[in-house]
Structure 1
Amino acid sequence: MEGKGKVLDIRFNEDQTCFVCGMENGIRVYTIDPLTRKTLIGFDEVGAVKHVDMLRRTNLLAFVGGGQAPKFAEKQVHIWDDVRKKIILQFNFELPVKSVRLYRDGTTGCRLAATFQEQICVYRLSKEPQLLKTVQTASNRLGLCEICSSSSRDLIAFPAPRPGVLAVLDSLTLGRARHARQEIWAHKSQLACISFNVKGTMVATASIKGTLIRVFDTTTGDKKVEFRRGSDTARFHCISFSPSDDYLCASSDKGTVHIFALRDQTLNRKSRLPNLGLLAQYSASQWGLAQFSVPIDCMCKCMFTHSNAVIALCDNGTFYRYVFKESGTTTRDGFDVFLDVGFDDDL
């Protein structure tokens, strides 16, 4: 039986029905509702995995070795086929890979985005993969790169070379001499978190300061709204839109998941501080509609399962489900240890 291991990475799939974990002892894929373990790829096959992503609900995964006992170098990306139970493609690079994204383009093709310290390489996957484009980024140690794919647009968001600037690129035009690129002055300091809504019409960002979340229109670059997490510095782990765009949730290293009302912003709390001098920036802010707590010493990823329900996955293996009301009250509706799920099947 495989040991429980340590979680190194957590990624939701594109339709947010599954999540995949890169582990010190391999890869695991889970369905969310109900919480079940779908796939176990052991240490003997892939070693320790630092970065991982899955293609929708298909049998294809991309991963990068890392952790304490990697089988593969951090300068390689491998594509795993879980039907054939083997690696089917290998990419070798000169630099360590900071993150990988696997997605379908607007037609029927499959693409891979490999993120490095200062660039992103986009490939069309086939028996002989084709490099479509290399784009320069800011110094990107976090490997920030998010994708939103539809029939009309394939958007890639990443930190532009100038600090605090977000670049949004339409990858459907990557093979052309000129391509659509939007640059958004999102923050004064370096970006720390990026997230698209389902339709790709909005993108949310946070900086390394960790106090504000800003939401922008991806076509015009205009700021739609600004939310305040708090006044002290924090590291954001995740930002996620609800499927209907009614709400947005975010998690950080403060051990709190915040929920904001995006459509009806009158539901959000306002500061009671006077709108004067240095206090004006706080008194004008929109604070969260609701919040709940998770372990403070864990990396946490969050998302909506229904219009009024949020799940949080922590790298200690815990799974939380909370429901919330427009009044701001939250109730824990579920708890599990996802690392334990499915182990009876291995005995």
Structure 2
Amino acid sequence: MNLARHSISATNPVNLIDARFDADFQIFTISTPEGFAVYRAWPLDLVRKRELSGGTLQFVVPCHTSSLLFLVGGGPSPLYPPNKVILWDDAIGSEVAELEFRERVRGIACRRGWLAVSLRRRVVVFTVAEQVTRYKEWDTCDNPRGILAIATGAYSTLLAIAGRQMGHVQLIHLPPCSPPVPKGPPPPPTPRKQNPRSAKSSISMIAAHTSDLTTLTVPPSGRLLATTSSRGTLIRIWDTHTGKLIRELRRGTNKADIYGIAFRPDETEICAWSNNGTVHVFAVTGSESSNRQSSLSVLTTYIPHPKYFDSEWSYAQYRIPTQSSHIYLSSTSSRARPADLPDEDRCVVGWVSVPNDDPQRPPEYQLIALTYGGGWYRLALPGALASRAASPSPSSSPGPTSHNVPKSGSRPRPASVSSSTSRASKGKEKERKEGKEGITCILEEFRRFGRWDGWT
């Protein structure tokens, strides 16, 4: 008897084409075969969804929390030609302008009043006001990923793009970014703070890696730059004014495709995520870093040693659970994953500020991880948990209301199973190995978005 292959899943996941946060991690956008949607990052809430007929979008880029979105066609059946950027005003639900190029658009970065479009070998910058005006363009090396980054803070100027040589980063200073228009009565005028190091004295090129760049990330201030290469083992943090290497962080020893880096808003930590489905958290500032190092690093001042033993490893990590178990009935022994199933391990991560129960303590920074299978994870860092335990709030409150919460490194339970909040196992810290295992971030809340919000 011949049995055709079938997949049986406890849930019917949404298939995301793309997901990305705005510059301040307040909202995120997703594109699906049905259209696109805008969500509040935390607490998770659907702001608006647009069902589009006739095609799909490759990505939807939000411009802060304004109603302006930048759309690029792509996916199985592109709604717009892939060589166009559509300016979409979500307040009126229609296109307001379009930019057409002679080749496919690879990437986009934006801030208030500015738009940078990455093509295969050049980056074109536009000013966005009542009219969209071409500002300038720069040549780059072969850049199929379309990587670029722009500082989005008030009075920030930095635009980071791939250099003309492989592994180099070109630093460009645009006119300062204006602050957002305040709501309500205008505040009293305050003198503008001048940067003691002007853009003219800053460097314009950083030789970051010897192999192809895979990600470029800058915080809103533009003071720092994080780079990764195709090897996927090291993350380098640079001072954009001096070009000095501040820190070299090791993601792992095996080659991986690093999908992205995100700076904590106060620029003291970063998180990184890759195709391995693991989110790593590193400390960036401070002479006594909390990052882990090899136990042999104490001997490095006395004997010659490989550079590997000086490596700084993530002090915390979280493994994104794989998709719900799928059962395949087939006449062959092949266990290949069907092509139409979403990649649950693929994710994008951002930082949010969560208030504490104790009003005397400052808000706590946590991570939000979005998977391409429609999973929303809110993760607490180990240090914050220790502080929470040391200073318990006088008014105790029940744990977070989560449903169908998967444990880190395990598979989610079916929807019919009662939900529970995941906590790190007691023996996890004993199992830590030098450069291999870190303290596991704690899953505070897990929710679904996409099809569970009414998508067809």
How does the TM-score come out when normalised to structure 1? 0.89
1:235 to 246, 252, 257: 257
Higher alpha-carbon deviation: 194-203 or 59-68: 194-203
How far has the Cα of 1:308 moved from its partner? 4.1
How far has the Cα of 1:88 moved from its partner? 0.6
**Equivalence for 2:145:** 142
C-alpha distance in 2 between matches for 1:9 and 1:64:
11
Instruction: Please identify the structure whose Cα radius of gyration is greater.
Output: 2
How far has the Cα of 1:24 moved from its partner? 2.4
Gap runs ≥5 in structure 2? 1-11, 177-199, 323-342, 354-363, 387-438
1:14-38: per-residue Cα shift (whole Å, max 9, x none)? 2110111122221111101110111
How far has the Cα of 1:154 moved from its partner? 2.2
**Equivalence for 1:158:** 161
Residues 1:61 and 2:69 are matched in the alignment: yes
How far has the Cα of 1:182 moved from its partner? 1.7
C-alpha distance in 1 between matches for 2:440 and 2:276:
20
Contact 1:97/1:115 (8 A) holds in 2: yes
Q: Percent identity?
A: 28
Higher alpha-carbon deviation: 318-327 or 34-43: 318-327
**1:224 and 1:180, CA in 2 relative to 1: closer, same or farther beyond 3 A?**
closer
C-alpha distance in 1 between matches for 2:110 and 2:220:
16
C-alpha distance in 1 between matches for 2:52 and 2:128:
25
Map residues 4-153 of structure 1 onto 2, 5 A cutoff: 6-44=15-53, 47-104=55-112, 110-153=113-156
1:232-280: per-residue Cα shift (whole Å, max 9, x none)? 1001111011111221110001111001112245311112357689962
1:333 to 407, 422, 444: 444
What secondary structure, in the 3-state scheme, does the structure 1 residue paired with 2:123 have?
strand
**Equivalence for 1:184:** 206
State how many pairs are aligned.
333
Contact 1:323/1:331 (8 A) holds in 2: yes
| Structure with the higher strand share, 1 or 2 | 1
1:215 to 225, 233, 237: 237
Contact 1:308/1:325 (8 A) holds in 2: no
**1:120 and 1:278, CA in 2 relative to 1: closer, same or farther beyond 3 A?**
farther
Residues 1:310 and 2:367 are matched in the alignment: yes
Q: Which amino acid aligns with 2:26?
A: T
Higher alpha-carbon deviation: 283-292 or 21-30: 21-30
1:304-344: per-residue Cα shift (whole Å, max 9, x none)? 2134421211111111111122384521101111214532x
Residues 1:290 and 2:313 are matched in the alignment: no
Contact 1:37/1:341 (8 A) holds in 2: no
Larger relative contact order (C-alpha < 8 A, sep ≥ 6)? 2
Contact 2:273/2:279 (8 A) holds in 1: yes
RMSD after superposition: 2.4
1:61-96: per-residue Cα shift (whole Å, max 9, x none)? 001100111121001110111111100101111100
**1:292 and 1:121, CA in 2 relative to 1: closer, same or farther beyond 3 A?**
same
C-alpha distance in 1 between matches for 2:13 and 2:101:
31
**1:77 and 1:86, CA in 2 relative to 1: closer, same or farther beyond 3 A?**
same
Gap runs ≥5 in structure 1? 105-109
**Equivalence for 1:322:** 379
**Equivalence for 1:249:** 271
How does the TM-score come out when normalised to structure 2? 0.68
C-alpha distance in 1 between matches for 2:14 and 2:440:
35
**1:308 and 1:86, CA in 2 relative to 1: closer, same or farther beyond 3 A?**
closer
**1:263 and 1:180, CA in 2 relative to 1: closer, same or farther beyond 3 A?**
closer
Contact 1:210/1:235 (8 A) holds in 2: yes
What secondary structure, in the 3-state scheme, does the structure 2 residue paired with 1:283 have?
helix
Q: Which amino acid aligns with 1:309?
A: Q
C-alpha distance in 1 between matches for 2:106 and 2:17:
13
Q: Which amino acid aligns with 1:321?
A: R
Q: Which amino acid aligns with 2:313?
A: W
Q: Which amino acid aligns with 2:55?
A: G
C-alpha distance in 2 between matches for 1:284 and 1:69:
48
What secondary structure, in the 3-state scheme, does the structure 2 residue paired with 1:233 have?
coil
